[in-house]
A and B are shown apart, each in its own frame.
Chain A
Amino acid sequence: GQQLNQSPQSMFIQEGEDVSMNCTSSSIFNTWLWYKQDPGEGPVLLIALYKAGELTSNGRLTAQFGITRKDSFLNISASIPSDVGIYFCAGLVGGADGLTFGKGTHLIIQP
């Protein structure tokens, strides 16, 4: 089946630093999504990308849909304590397919 390789697995950063994480795949996806999950809760959608090459921002978050349609990255600028959590990328081929999720990037912010 399809797989998404998400990296890094975890990040330990200082408050105020910028963060970058990415997802790659051996197969093409037509939609890329980035979710954040806090402990005990469901994933919350951060950014959705629908076109190859698309660059989209949501506040301090910026994500891009790779031109090859096989990768995507998420950047967080000037991290704050509430950014702590697990970030998941997810890809969709189309139609009625379910999302394929990466294994997540744990973001830990040291004061």
Chain B
Amino acid sequence: NAGVMQNPRHLVRRRGQEARLRCSPMKGHSHVYWYRQLPEEGLKFMVYLQKENIIDESGMPKERFSAEFPKEGPSILRIQQVVRGDSAAYFCASSTTAGTGKAPLHFGNGTRLTVT
């Protein structure tokens, strides 16, 4: 049973370019979460999605960032016109139910975005 799959593992973008990060949840999981981790910091919640719906995007910057989880295919976190401050590790997590309840989050190995 494959875990949460994220790609690419490493992504380098120049300032002003777009970054697209992909996440395939664990089999049977319909709830996806995106977190951002800066060096020497804990993970910060960005957005929570179910299939075709954004449930909570309170942790996501209002500009340049968007997320989707279509009916078919992986969840995508999109960052437009990247700036150096977007450099971080972005982690996706999935679960079978809302929040963690009795179903804790399982994390992928992250995408490390570097903006030059």
Contacts and interface: CB of A to CB of B under 8 A. Distances in A.
A98 B42 CA distance: 13
A99 B105 contact: yes
A96 B55 contact: yes
A45 B104 contact: yes
B91 A43 contact: yes
A99 B107 CA distance: 12
A45 B105 contact: yes
Given A42-B108, A99-B33, 11 more contacts: A4-B42, A31-B101, A41-B110, A42-B107, A90-B43, A94-B99, A95-B98, A98-B33, A98-B35, A99-B100, A100-B45
Nearest to A9: B40
Interface residues of A, number: 27
Q: Chain A binding site: helix, strand, loop or mixed by DSSP?
A: loop
A104 interface: yes
A42 B100 contact: no
Contact of B48 (A40, A98, A100, A101): A98
Interface of B: 4, 6, 33, 35, 40-46, 48, 55-56, 58-59, 91, 93, 98-102, 104-110
A56 B110 CA distance: 28
9 contacts: A6-B42, A35-B107, A50-B102, A94-B99, A95-B99, A98-B33, A99-B45, A99-B100, A101-B43
A70 interface: no
A74 B53 CA distance: 36
Contacts of A48: 100, 104
Nearest to B107: A42
B56 A97 contact: yes
